[in-house]
Amino acid sequence: MQIQDLPYPDPGVPDVRSGPRFLWWLWRNQLGGQLKSLAWGLLHFVSVTALPFCVGLAVQAAVDRSGGRLALTGGLMLVCGTGTALGDTFLHRSAITNWITAAARVQQLLARKAAHLGSALTRRVAAGEVVAVSTGDVEKIGWFVEAVSRFTAAALTVVVVCVGLLVYQPALGVIVAVGLPVVALAVLPLLPRATRRADVQREKAGRATELASDTVAGLRVLRGIGGEELFLDRYRQASQEVRHAAVRSARMWSLISAVQVLLPGLLLIAVVWHGIGLARQGRITVGELVTVYSAVMVLNYPLRHFEEIAMAYSFSRPSAKRAARVLSLERSTATDGTRGADVPAGDLYDPATGLLAPAGRLTAVVCGDPDAAGRLAERLGGHPAEPDRSVLLGGVPLDELPLDSARTAVLVQDKDPVLLSGTLRELLDVPASGAVRPADALAAAQCEDVLDALVQGSLDAADPMDARITERGRSLSGGQRQRLALARSLITDPEVLVLDEPTSAVDSHTEARIAVGLRRLRSGRTTVVFTSSPLLLDRADQVALVHEGEVVAVGVHRELVGSEPRYRAVVTRETDEELTAADEDMLLDALQGLEEIEESA
């Protein structure tokens, strides 16, 4: 896999039983790239460590005044230099390719899992953790997967050099062969503590990211209640904790680095000390001493990769653990279904509550508990936790349909819809039947002032469709974001559209016009609206009152207001007492005004 071939046609099914197993799975799935990196790494490291042998031969040739051997040594040094340059160039190229492709695979897996779980993802995993996994953790995982092949090449090179020194000069080679494993393994006792400190740093960084995400998302509310300083102080405290944890982790890694500098230096001193004694005794030549000295000195370069792989693993292990935890999440029921992919048509029925939404009609649902209303809305559009209580569409249980077919049949817009950044044209470019034009959807959702605001806020967009929407639509008011989300849902034109409080943030005049536009645009299609607004309720073909988890009354709005005290308590905020004559007059005036709006529209 090359970078230009990304994304993967299929990122595969990961092994998410643990963080190390996930890392091993990633490494195995790019075995070709790893072997290529290993080959170039061996060429590079062997060429670098062969230079000291060439230098030793050259020194000895100069001592012996042998021009032929000196010329031959020069040729060998040219070959080593060429191998070093080629190996370094293509090692870097293959290593970066392995890094990016591994990170891209993880990102594709995370994106696929997010699409698979839908809104259930952020209910089971904190939003800050999802952000941390998909950004910083992905980079660290890619770093370790890429570093494995370079470490393997460095380790093999060290073994080759040790064997070569034992053959070339056994008296000094024994010291190197015994000392190098000590140098390489001396940091192992320090790694557990370094790993624990890295884990603490990761945990605190994830917490700070989550806190920052929550603060930014609720900044408008925090400013309204004067609580932004409180949350900023909390973030400052969390940020300082991250800094202290990072400093403690860096201290441990600096100690490991110091050990990696100190011990090779001591080994070099031992080799030189013993080598000088052997040279004085005439047991080795000057060239052999220079060769061994140079080889030990150059070995510091591949030995550095022992420290890097330890650091990469320590940082990537908690990242891989978090990624594996997210990727191991599953829906409560299967997504492939047991029926065909054909989208059924007919009435929508929820056996858990007894709610029946007739096909082709606008049904309003009144529920005094907003949380219960949200759970019911999600159940109408997804697979429930209890398969025996699955919602039926045209008599077909939704959990027997493939997930894609179920989502095509029923679209649920929750009470806090998200607007992705980009142009308005991109926002409205969603899978749709093609029967509803964007202009008609925007008009039905009463988005005229939203379009004007987008054009005024854009410097180079004369067409509202080309105006950019900021992240999560934060430059727009709550009512404007809500209407754009409603227009996006209307464009999809699903068989069943479920709307959870679609007009809770708009004024009554705009709400009345939306009620008219919604009924007109969704004519002949099944629509379920969760609301307590009389303006929307009066436009519905039928209204169902859900009380304590079941439907207790069904009728039209005007009848239920007068005959059902529990309905009246939710809709008009009245007690169980009957409406006064003045209340009835006010209600009739409101309904009459709604009729005038519908006629003018």
Query: What percentage of the chain carries pLDDT values higher than 90?
Result: 31
Write out the two tokens for 102.
Answer: 């591994």
Of 55-69, 75-89, 449-463, 477-491, the one with minimum mean pLDDT is 449-463
| DSSP class per residue in 271-316 | HHHHHHHHHHTTSS-HHHHHHHHHHHHHTHHHHHHHHHHHHHHHHH
User: Please, which pLDDT band fits residue 337 given cuts at 50, 70 and 90?
Assistant: low
Segment holding 529, helix H or strand E: strand 526-530
Q: Which position has the higher pLDDT, 64 or 357?
A: 357
Strands 550-555, 542-547: pairing is: antiparallel
Spans of all domains in the chain: 9-327, 348-417+493-600
Least confident of 83-92, 378-387, 403-412: 378-387
Chain-centroid distance, C-alpha 170: 55
For 82-96, 171-185, 437-451, which range has the lowest pLDDT when averaged over its residues? 171-185
Is 201's pLDDT higher than 70?
Answer: yes
Residue 488 binned pLDDT confidence (cut-offs 50, 70, 90) = very high
* Amino acid in the structure at residue 68: G
> Mean pLDDT score of the chain, rounded to an integer?
83
Q: Which CATH number fits domain 348-417+493-600: 3.30.1330.60, 3.20.20.70, 3.40.50.300, 3.30.70.920?
A: 3.40.50.300
In three-state secondary structure terms, 522 is coil
Domain 9-327 indexed as CATH 3.30.1240.10: no
Quote the pLDDT of residue 585.
Answer: 52
Radius of gyration of the chain (CA): 35
380 phi and psi angles, rounded to 5 deg = -65, -25
Residue 582: pLDDT band (50, 70, 90) is very low
pLDDT for position 141: 92
pLDDT digits (tens, 9 = 90+) for 277-334: 888 888 888 778 888 888 888 888 888 888 788 888 888 888 898 899 889 888 665 5
Is the pTM for the entire model greater than 0.75? no
User: What is the CA angle 385-319-313, rounded to 5?
Assistant: 145
**What is the model's pLDDT at position 360?**
92
Q: In whole angstroms, what is the distance from residue 531 CA to residue 370 CA?
A: 9
| 222-277 residue pLDDT tens | 565 655 677 778 888 888 998 999 999 889 888 888 888 888 888 888 888 988 88
196 DSSP β-pair partners: none
For residue range 107-142, list pLDDT tens digits in order.
999 988 887 777 667 667 766 667 778 777 898 899
Predicted confidence at residue 151, as pLDDT, reads 92
